[in-house]
Structure 1
Amino acid sequence: MILELAILHVKAGKQLAFENDFITASQYIAAIDGYIRHSLKKCIEVENQYVLLVEWSSVEAHEIGFRQSPQYLKWKELLHDYYDPFPQVFHYEDLPQKI
C-alpha cells in the first residue's frame, strides 16, 4: 500500500466551496483501479489549510492510472483553481516492523 499526501492551501474565502466541490470530486478518484480510500482533513490552526491522504495499491495507480484518466480531468476541473500555491504531492510506503 502507498500513501499519497498533499497539503492543500485553499484560497482565502473559498473553503466552503472547495469542501463542497471535493465531495463531488471524490467520486472520480474512487473510480480508479488501485484506489483504496481517501480522507480530507481540515487544519485547526490554519483556516484555509487541508491535508489530503489517499491510499493506493501502487504509485503507478496514482501517477498513471489516475493522472492519465478522464476522471482526473474532471477532478482537476473541479479542484485545481482553489489552490494557492499548487500543492506538492508525496508518496509514502510502510517500513517493515521489527519485533
Structure 2
Amino acid sequence: MVIEIARFHVAPEQQKGFFDAFAEVKAYVEQAEGYQSHIISQEIEDPSRISLLVQWRSYEDHVELFEPSAAHETFINALVPFFTGEVEVFHFNAEPASIGGAK
C-alpha cells in the first residue's frame, strides 16, 4: 500500500471554490483502479496549504494508471484554477520504516 500526499496552496478567498470543486470531482479519484481512501484537510499552521492524502493499493496504480488517464485530467483541471504556486506530490510506503535495521 502507498500513500500519496499532494499539497496545494489556495488563497483564503479561493478556498470555498476549491472545496466545492473538489466535492464535484472527487469521484474521479474514488473510482480509480487501486484507490482505497482519502483525506483532504487544511494545515493548522498555514490554512492556505491544503493537503490531500490518498491511499493507493500500489504506486503504479497512481502514477501509471490514474495520472495518465482522462479521469485524472478532468480531476486536476477542475482544481488548477484555485492553486497559487506549484503542487507538491510525495509518495510513501504504508509499511513501517526500518531505521538502523530495527523494525
Q: Please confirm whether the aligned pair reaches a TM-score higher than 0.5, indicating the same fold.
A: yes
- 1:45-60 maps to which residues of 2 (within 5 A)? 45-60=45-60
Residue 38 of structure 1 aligns to which amino acid in structure 2? H
Identity within the alignment, %: 29
Structure-1 separation of matches of 2:44 and 2:97:
32
RMSD: 1.5
| 1:25 CA drift (Å) | 1.5
Which structure 2 residue ranges, 5 or more long, are not aligned?
none
Corresponding residue of 2:90: 90
What TM-score results when the alignment is normalised by the length of structure 2? 0.86
| 1:96 CA drift (Å) | 5.5
Structure-2 separation of matches of 1:6 and 1:96:
21
- 1:1-99 maps to which residues of 2 (within 5 A)? 1-93=1-93, 94-95=95-96, 98=103
The list of structure 1 runs, each at least 4 consecutive aligned residues, that deviate by more than 6 angstroms after superposition, is: none
Which structure 1 residue ranges, 5 or more long, are not aligned?
none
Structure-1 separation of matches of 2:37 and 2:23:
14
Q: Secondary structure at the match of 1:20?
A: helix
Structure-1 separation of matches of 2:31 and 2:64:
14
Residue 62 of structure 1 aligns to which amino acid in structure 2? H
Larger radius of gyration: 2
How many residues are treated as equivalent by the alignment? 98
What TM-score results when the alignment is normalised by the length of structure 1? 0.89
Of stretches 16-25 and 78-87 in structure 1, the one that deviates more from structure 2 is 78-87
Q: Secondary structure at the match of 2:13?
A: coil
| 1:12 CA drift (Å) | 3.9
Structure-2 separation of matches of 1:6 and 1:76:
11
| 1:92 CA drift (Å) | 0.2
Residue 74 of structure 2 aligns to which amino acid in structure 1? K
